Amino acid sequence: MLASMLVLTSCFKDEGNYDYDEMNPPHWLYDQNSPSVIYARAGEEAVFDAGKLFVWDNDSAQREKEVRYEWILNGKVVGEGKTFKVASADLMKAADVKEYTSSGSGGTPGVCAVIEKNTDVKYMGCIQVYFTEKYTSDNWFVLTERNAETAIAALCKKIVTENGVKKENYEVTPDAYAEANEGKKIPGRPVSMNWAYDKHVGSQGSITVITDQGGYELSASDMSLYSQINGEQFLDGTPANFSLVARADCDADGMSVPATFLAGADGRIFSRVMSKNYLGGKYLTEPYFVDEKGYKVTRFGNTLYGTRMIPCYDEKNRRIMIASVNTRQEVVDGEYIMLSTTSLKPLLQPSPKVSVQAMPEGTEVLYLGVTNHVPNYTRGCIHYTMVYNLPGEAHTRVSDFSVYVATSTTNTSDNFSSSFLLENAPKLSASSKILSSGATQRGSYPGTAFSGKVLYYSVNNELYYVHRTPVAGKPQQHELKKFEMPEGVSITSPISCLALSPLYCDELLVGCENGDLFIINVNVLDDPELVYQCNLGGKVMAAQQLGGRAPSADRFNN
């Protein structure tokens, strides 16, 4: 008790023998509950700038002399100074980060430490670094033909601030393949382009560019050449007289494995089946045998991610066929195993609104793709739209049919299908570009013109659309209109490419023969907004956007 009294008394007799310094901490400019984000893109420099994180409330010039800076990432000091730049690869090494930031993760945590030189007192600001590959979600790849040569332009989305307003912009690399492959060109003239989920090629999958000299698989992460689709990828060597013109893929899902279909210029189809982790599997050197009639398929229709059915048109017999992956369970040596095989089957049953077999001589099928305008979406079915010219009709016809996923057979009791003529535009031809969507995602714009119910088509330099407004139990309603470009924007060259962002279908890409390219927000069809415009210096042939891989998103096989 005596000792306690002495201690207490000593506190009362404190005469203030301390030195007091006035605190002047940083005034942070961001919400401390949400770290400031820094992007470190492969092949570029990451920029660390404390000036964007805080300001001094008093005497900033003097305070800068009194402090120093450390940037700490993943628990390691990776740099010093108020601002500094570092190559992304070197930053990953310094922070001991082994992989690029995966989709949906929060990046790599870190801090900006502002340190008093005299006292070592630290003021900490939170940062989050996203290590991204060179090309990633929301980036576009655009296939162009320039002076009979093939090029791929990369459009990387950037968010810029103009007059205090944030808006989308794009950084354009006119020939991303040449940049990534020591200035080399892709041999030949362009024919088509395909995106596949191919995880064995890279985290962003693969881009296959098909020219009149072959098929070239590229890593979508950086546009580096992965392989050529030739002899070594086939079980018994390249098929005789093989000239690749189209590719389509089925992704792995809970029941099946990934598979790839190739179409040759002579209409033969070849396929491969891979393991669920995208390993193994070679293309069969022998083409599919369907029946004694034979077949000719040179294009694949659009489907959805994860959907195991790809529509295609047999030009020889004028019938619809379905390429698919089939998985069945079998008992081998007393154990249950899952076996997956590919198939190519003609649709045999008639559809209520359209003939899917033995179409009239002279029929010209221009487009096949998934659609999502059907109310009370028929259970177990995928709905398709076909755009075609029938002999004797003055206008192009649009018809719908649906197919059961389990059996690849036509739904003969489909009461929601429709068939009508595009009477508001001249008759479409092979030069017309046509695009429908089966996407079910609505994004953040409920009640607007959901793109899953829209069919776009072009005639020369004019763009049209069909907007479906179905009501359950009633005949299909549709509105045919000319698409009015945003104010001040005009298309002066024939349209050579149409593409949609695959997840929400909220952005429409329009490419032209003279190289003009427009990206348009189409959430409100009657009031579209121009997002970006440029000229790529060559005919726009096809476009694919990365990201948005979900069963509700589109896979466009353009």
- Would you list the domain boundaries of the chain? 23-132
pLDDT above 70 for 76: yes
Spatial distance between the Cα atoms of 167 and 175, rounded to a whole number of angstroms: 25
pLDDT, position 410? 83
Contact in structure between 398 and 456 (CB atoms under 8 Å): no
Among the listed residues 200, 148, 155, the one whose alpha carbon sits nearest the alpha carbon of residue 174? 155
- List of residues 6+ apart from 385 with CB closer than 8 A: 367, 368, 369, 370, 371, 398, 399, 400, 436, 455
Among the listed residues 290, 179, 282, the one whose alpha carbon sits nearest the alpha carbon of residue 233? 282
The gap between the terminal CA atoms of the chain, to the nearest Å, is 89
Rg (CA), the chain: 29
pLDDT, position 12? 47
Cα torsion through 48, 50, 52, 54, rounded to 10: 160
Which of the four pLDDT bands, split at 50, 70 and 90, describes residue 407?
confident
pLDDT above 90 for 186: yes
CA torsion through residues 353, 500, 448, 395, sign: negative
Spatial distance between the Cα atoms of 88 and 79, rounded to a whole number of angstroms: 13
- List of residues 6+ apart from 329 with CB closer than 8 A: 336, 337, 338, 339
pLDDT, position 389? 96
- The verdict on domain 23-132 having CATH code 2.60.40.10 is yes
What is the rounded average pLDDT of the residues 403-424? 80
Lowest-pLDDT choice from 13-17, 110-114, 267-271, 324-328: 13-17
What is the rounded average pLDDT of the residues 210-221? 96
pLDDT, position 103? 63
pLDDT above 60 for 7: no
Lowest-pLDDT choice from 112-116, 151-155, 277-281, 428-432: 277-281
pLDDT above 70 for 361: yes
Which of the four pLDDT bands, split at 50, 70 and 90, describes residue 203?
confident
pLDDT above 70 for 140: yes
What is the rounded average pLDDT of the residues 412-437? 86
Tokens representing 157?
Answer: 């989305």
Tokens representing 64?
Answer: 């800068």
Spatial distance between the Cα atoms of 320 and 314, rounded to a whole number of angstroms: 6
Which of the four pLDDT bands, split at 50, 70 and 90, describes residue 475?
low
The secondary structure of 105-148 as a DSSP string is S--EEEEEEEEETTT--EEEEEEEEEEE-SS-TT-EEEEEEETT
What are the distances in angstroms from CA 129 to CA 37, 106, 402?
Answer: 6, 9, 46
Give the containing element (helix H, strand E) for 84: strand 83-87
Spatial distance between the Cα atoms of 31 and 125, rounded to a whole number of angstroms: 10
Which of the four pLDDT bands, split at 50, 70 and 90, describes residue 447?
very low
pLDDT above 70 for 391: yes
CB atoms within 10 A of CB 429: 12
Lowest-pLDDT choice from 33-42, 61-70, 415-424, 508-517: 415-424
Strands (E), 333-485: 335-346, 364-370, 381-389, 397-404, 419-421, 434-436, 454-459, 462-468, 478-482
34-54 per-position pLDDT tens digit: 888 898 988 889 999 999 999
Which of the four pLDDT bands, split at 50, 70 and 90, describes residue 468?
confident
Tokens representing 479?
Answer: 């509105």
Residue that has been written with the tokens 């950084």 in this structure: 171
pLDDT, position 401? 87
Q: Give the CA angle between residues 169, 173, 174 to the nearest 5°.
A: 115
> At 546, which amino acid appears?
L
pLDDT, position 106? 76
Half-sphere exposure of 503 (CA within 13 A, CB side): 10
Which of the four pLDDT bands, split at 50, 70 and 90, describes residue 358?
confident
DSSP lists the bridge partners of residue 211 as 190, 214
Average pLDDT in the chain: 86
Query: 6 by DSSP, 3-state: which?
Result: helix
Tokens representing 99?
Answer: 């992989």
What is the rounded average pLDDT of the residues 345-353? 80
Spatial distance between the Cα atoms of 143 and 497, rounded to a whole number of angstroms: 10
Tokens representing 103?
Answer: 């989709």
Q: Which long-range CB contacts under 8 A does 411-415 form with residues at least 24 apart?
A: 411/351, 411/378, 411/381, 412/349, 412/350, 412/351, 412/352, 413/352, 414/351, 414/352, 414/353, 414/378, 414/381, 415/352
What is the rounded average pLDDT of the residues 519-541? 92
Which of the four pLDDT bands, split at 50, 70 and 90, describes residue 378?
low
pTM of structure = 0.84
19-31 per-position pLDDT tens digit: 556 677 899 988 7
Spatial distance between the Cα atoms of 397 and 503, rounded to a whole number of angstroms: 27
pLDDT, position 448? 45
What is the rounded average pLDDT of the residues 332-356? 79
pLDDT, position 449? 47
pLDDT, position 377? 58
Lowest-pLDDT choice from 241-250, 409-418, 483-492: 409-418
Indicate the length of the chain as a whole number. 558
Spatial distance between the Cα atoms of 234 and 211, rounded to a whole number of angstroms: 19
pLDDT above 80 for 160: no
What is the rounded average pLDDT of the residues 479-505? 91
Lowest-pLDDT choice from 2-16, 121-135, 194-208, 395-409: 2-16
pLDDT above 70 for 269: yes
Among the listed residues 91, 112, 96, the one whose alpha carbon sits nearest the alpha carbon of residue 40? 91
255-269 core/surface letters (b: 16 or more CB in 10 A; e: else):
ebbbbbbbbbeebbb
CB atoms within 10 A of CB 119: 9
Contact in structure between 194 and 210 (CB atoms under 8 Å): yes
Tokens representing 212?
Answer: 């009149």
217-262 per-position pLDDT tens digit: 999 999 999 999 998 899 999 999 999 999 999 886 666 788 999 9
pLDDT, position 393? 94
Tokens representing 57?
Answer: 């409330």
% of the chain residues with pLDDT over 70: 87
Contact in structure between 333 and 394 (CB atoms under 8 Å): no
Spatial distance between the Cα atoms of 39 and 282, rounded to a whole number of angstroms: 38
DSSP lists the bridge partners of residue 85 as 47
What is the layout of strands, in order, in the sheet containing 495-500?
495-500, 507-512, 516-521, 529-535
Half-sphere exposure of 430 (CA within 13 A, CB side): 3
Residue that has been written with the tokens 């961001």 in this structure: 30
Spatial distance between the Cα atoms of 477 and 305, rounded to a whole number of angstroms: 28
